[in-house]
Amino acid sequence: MKIENYHIGFVGFGHMAQILCRAIENARLIPRSQILFHRRDPAKAKQNEQDFGITATSLGHLMDKSDLLLICVRPNQAEFMLRDLAELNPSSKMFVSVMAGIQLSFLQKHLGSKAQIARVMPNIASSVAEGMSLLSFASHPSIEFRSLVNLLFGASGQTIEIAEQQMDIGCGMAGSGPGLVLELIEAMAKIGEKEGITYNKALQIAAQTFLGAAKLIQKGQLPRDLLQQIATPGGTTQAGLNVLRQEQIPEKLTSAIQASCRRSKEISDEYF
């Protein structure tokens, strides 16, 4: 079946669900008329209908009409929502969970072993079609399901499939990583402001510097090779790198990613 013929439903319609919905719309993958959502807050649901041009509905109707359901509720609402879904004969449906820390086995426990299930870790950059979405599938996903999930999340950036046991470190890198990078960009902008550049200009300089460096990597070059090119002995870049290494900034960044990874594991442990 062509992607434009699918009907999809959002279970929960918070920030990430809205980002994904916008990405699907902007990529013209699926018509609005084939997108439904369920949200428990009637006032917010009504506002979402006006803002996105899609229809809010009951959970039962959502399940009945959707080929694929995106579960976008908070992790602490997972068990409650999955129990409700389990009562609606979910075995013939496709499900994608974007809930941090919720393992595939927990989803299968409620949705059944016959349902097609994927776990996805998107990030905030999906809102500008530069996201990094990590995908992990339950056993024996169909070619159709795998392709559909990659297409949907590819509309908001890049996708990479990883084993589920790598999801926690993936959360630390891709899920929480933008927050760490934003902190570094802010620090760079602040020093520029301190030295007399206006904050807006300093922020533009910092953001473009990070973006440019990332694009060099995406073109296939390795960080260590690029560092050899630009960090000439006695030069300005080498002087800065010396301080970074003396202050153990790479190690501290590693520790920050590991802290996010541990928190992801803690969330998982709350359900097992």
Q: What is the pLDDT of residues 224-238, one digit of tens each?
A: 999 999 999 999 999
Kindly tell me if the per-residue pLDDT of 2 is higher than 90. no
pLDDT of 90: 86
Please state, for a pLDDT cut of 70, what percent of the chain lies above it. 99
Q: Where residue 141 falls among pLDDT bands split at 50, 70, 90? A: very high
Question: pLDDT band at residue 21, thresholds of 50, 70 and 90?
Answer: very high
What average pLDDT does range 143-159 have in this prediction? 95
Residue 258 in tokens: 């590991």
Please choose, from the candidates 154, 148, 162, 164, the residue with its C-alpha nearest in 3D space to the C-alpha of residue 132: 154
pLDDT (0 to 100) of residue 1? 78
**What's the pLDDT band for 62 if we cut at 50, 70, 90?**
very high
Average pLDDT over residues 153-158: 95
For the CA atoms of the chain, what is the radius of gyration?
21
Segment 87-99 shows an average pLDDT of 92
CA angle 198, 204, 207 (to 5 degrees): 135
Please report the pLDDT score of residue 101 as a whole number. 84
Say if CB 267 and CB 75 are below 8 A apart: yes
Taking residues 149-161, report their average pLDDT.
96
What are the phi and psi torsion angles at 65 (to 5°)?
Answer: -95, -15
Mean pLDDT to the nearest integer, 187-202 = 98
In angstroms, the CA 193 to CA 201 distance is: 8
pLDDT of residue 270: 77
How far apart, in whole angstroms, are the C-alpha atoms of residue 268 and residue 48?
Answer: 30
Residue 145's pLDDT is: 96
Dihedral angle over CA of 120, 126, 130, 135, nearest 10:
0
The confidence score (pLDDT) of residue 38 equals: 97
pLDDT, the chain, mean: 94
Judge whether residue 92 has pLDDT over 70: yes
Q: How confident is the model at residue 75 (pLDDT cuts 50, 70, 90)?
A: confident
Q: What is the pLDDT of residue 271?
A: 66
- Please check the confidence at residue 272 and state whether its pLDDT lies above 90: no
The closest alpha carbon to 66, from 105, 103, 92, 48, belongs to 92
